[in-house]
A = this chain, B = another copy of it.
């Protein structure tokens, strides 16, 4: 068995680790052959030093340099596509087609290219100039950024290739990537491509580093270290909250994407009008990728009545007859079983599924649970446990008033969805509940399922706690996601030649958007007379 190296300070180095781990093929439940190091604190410490040195070198560099690196990296990933797809399939069990090859890898490359374009353009940093007072401000890089990737997107959220990585780098920051233990080989190939691109484009050693795994207590030290600028974390709630507490204590920005059950409301008119469509769309969304999406619909709310009973029967029929997907690994399988058990203990009735197995390797039967609005109101916390995977809870409320009460008890979520009739029959109900749901979620949808997160400037993949750590930021959508990794830097009476290019009178590219004397413009600054 080979022991894999870590990427530190511009080199692949043998780790000083004394502990190692292997990933597993979730379809065969067999360990994969390579050993990956659990880096000791000394190694994290050295990575921080190297990142600090790299930051001192690159701060002040114009955005087009980071753009050049990101473009070269996107190209390098394209040449490694078959390796990446092969390894990710081995390590995660996610299907090669359409998921890995046709959806996730193209999206990942597209994200890196969008980030490159935003870095080169510079508008993301919202340069703001007031000519009368001669005060100017722009977002500058916050400093070395730690990125913790999750298990469920081996490409698009990978610690060294995904959205947080792209955003942090495009904002001008070195990244220390902490890979997810479930797909280290996939991550290694990204690391190789990243290092190749970094060398080709003249980035300093330590600009991009990769550690596969660190101890929990070292994670807390990392996110609160004075050399670190910020952290992006996507993953489970309990670990995320521990890291948040450590970072908060010393005032380090930490951006978390934790958990979400993504409530979906089927209003009565919609149930009456298009029951079959609702069942089909819900079952498709809930079972896609075996439900292992941050935006998977884990909670469905419906008003009691015979049409709702028919819809539920149709949902159960579809979910039950659908093939059972492979789960990402042992951890997901264990967590899903225990979460469903918790929901049942809290009073939910199991309409179908509820048992381990049914598919290849790690799997759990497609599961639909049911509870009443009354039950939900009696145990709102217990019935909001996230069952990450192919399971969902249907809550049948007595009437619209009870629906409003249930919504008001929701925790923060990434998304909330309302299906309503195409005519006016649900209008009053919509107006009653939408404002309540609006305040609980980052993205409000109408008439379509929340899975599928477009990488566009208006996207909000965020939401109130505990979906994330702050309701003002998004993890997806360029350029907004980049602003998380900036600090506001104001220049007061600073001599013109000392200003960053983005704040000089002349628009550096002729295309950068800047807020000059309260007006957005791509023009040059005409100094106040």
Contacts and interface: CB of A to CB of B under 8 A. Distances in A.
A269 B251 CA distance: 36
A460 B139 CA distance: 11
Contact of A470 (B59, B253, B445, B518): B253
A466 to B, nearest CB: 6
A249 B253 contact: no
A31 interface: no
Contacts of A456: 130, 132-133, 135
A62 to B, nearest CB: 14
B492 A444 contact: yes
Interface string A223-244: 0000000000000000000001
A140 interface: yes
Contact size range, A: 35 or more
Contacts of A495: 446-447
A211 to B, nearest CB: 24
Contact of A490 (B59, B139, B442, B472): B442
A442 B136 CA distance: 12
Interface string A414-444: 0100000000000000100011001100111
Contact of A471 (B128, B130, B142, B480): B142
Contacts of A469: 251
A233 to B, nearest CB: 13
A59 B439 contact: yes
Interface stretch (A5-13, A79-87, A161-169, A481-489): A481-489
A455 to B, nearest CB: 9
A515 B483 CA distance: 15
A458 B489 CA distance: 9
A473 interface: yes
A77 interface: no
A214 interface: no
A185 B142 CA distance: 42
A276 interface: no
B493 A448 contact: yes
A135 B245 CA distance: 33
Contacts of A491: 443-444
Given A130-B456, A460-B137, A446 B56 contact: no
Interface in A474-529: 474, 477, 480, 483-484, 486-495, 498, 513, 515, 518-520
Nearest to A140: B438
B447 A130 contact: no
A493 B445 contact: yes
Given A253-B470, A487-B464, A498-B430, A60 B435 contact: yes
B251 A489 contact: no
**Best-surrounded residue of A143, A492, A498 (most CB of chain B within 10 A):** A492
Contact of A454 (B135, B444, B445): B135
A447 B492 CA distance: 9
Nearest to A136: B458
Nearest to A444: B491
A323 interface: no
B494 A445 contact: yes
Q: Which of A434, A469, A518 has the most CB of B within 10 A?
A: A518
Nearest to A430: B498
A248 interface: yes
Contacts of A459: 135, 137, 490
Interface string A118-153: 000000000011101101110110110000000000
Interface centre among A447, A462, A491, by most B CB within 10 Å? A491
Nearest to A256: B251
Contacts of A60: 435
Nearest to A453: B492
A457 interface: yes
Contacts of A443: 490-492
A155 interface: no
28 contacts: A56-B435, A59-B439, A128-B458, A128-B480, A248-B248, A251-B466, A251-B470, A252-B465, A415-B492, A438-B489, A439-B487, A443-B490, A443-B492, A444-B490, A446-B493, A447-B493, A458-B490, A460-B490, A462-B488, A464-B487, A472-B483, A472-B486, A472-B487, A472-B488, A473-B488, A474-B488, A480-B488, A513-B519
Interface of A: 56, 59-60, 128-130, 132-133, 135-137, 139-140, 142-143, 244-245, 248-253, 412, 415, 430, 434-435, 438-439, 442-448, 450, 454, 456-460, 462, 464-466, 468-474, 477, 480, 483-484, 486-495, 498, 513, 515, 518-520
Given A460-B489, A513-B519, 6 more contacts: A60-B435, A140-B438, A438-B489, A445-B494, A458-B490, A472-B486
